[in-house]
Amino acid sequence: MRDYTLNWVIPASYDGKLMREFLMAQHISKRTLTAVKFDGGRITVNGKEENVRYPLNKGDILELRFPAEKGSESLVPEKVPLSILYEDNDILVVDKPSGMKSIPTKVEPTGSLANAIAGYYEEVRVSSAVHIVTRLDKDTSGLVLIAKHRHVHHLFSLQQKSREIQRMYEAFAEGQIDPFAGTIEEPIGRKEGSIIEREVRSEGRYALTHYRVEKQYPDFAHIELKLETGRTHQIRVHMAFIGHPLAGDDLYGGGLELLERQALHCKRLDFFHPIKKQFMRLEAAMPNDMKWLLERQ
């Protein structure tokens, strides 16, 4: 299995400074450095093993080899085809089909995206646990971002806190929507007596959704949505709250005449690659069931 490593060329601004300072600036935590020291990792400067008290010089080649990650023993690897839109040593982006859970449950321990990723990692010999950064509901299709190491997941978590990861969705919402564009700013919390359903409630967590109508049809509108927050079922709850539940979303009042699953697709993902230090934008085409519905209009 391949080990996960990071490499840096030391800039002039760190000439004479301790390695520890540089690594902390790269968001390498003390916990991670302890694991590197005691659990099988390695730090080298110009090919020679050194510790974090080593004084760096401009132009030094610093390599950090992380301890090998072990996947969860309870996660069953499965050989399921994945629609991979992008992959490098650090991240994986896939187009998840509707009907597939993001993660397994005790009741359904197989058939999830996480199971499929674990199976793919076995096949290509990647030594990593499964780190899903942006989950989607079972019946929502579209782009999912996966980190291929816990450190990369940590860096993405920092981006999520500062709202640097942006997802654009498209959906079919029932009825005639007026105005054609707007913002829904309503707190969302768990509905009393349900472990699944959410609702707008005063003591819920802050949630902000922007929507825009792409095209209005007699029975529904094709809309584009952008989230400023990432609450569970946020789009579904907010659209139901303003009287326009998603087609196929019977949990939140949508009918099943147009589609038999919520008509929601994550079509675009914008983020800053935490290792390559570059902006990335990935897009996924509308799935066939939603495309077919538009073609019938």
91, with CB counted inside 10 A (0-12, 13-18, 19+), is buried
Q: Which of these is catalytic: 137, 219, 249, 270? A: 137
Query: In the 8-state DSSP scheme, what is residue 171?
Result: E
Report the chain's terminal Cα–Cα distance, integer Å. 51
In 3D space, the residue among 97, 93, 94, 43 whose CA is nearest the CA of residue 65 turns out to be 43
Structure tokens at 159: 């981006």
DSSP run (H or E) holding 44 = strand 42-45
Cβ-contact 4, 126 below 8 angstroms: no
Is 137 among the catalytic positions? yes
SS (H, E, C) 2-33: ECCEEEEECCHHHCCCEHHHHHHHCCCCHHHH
Annotated active-site positions, please? 137
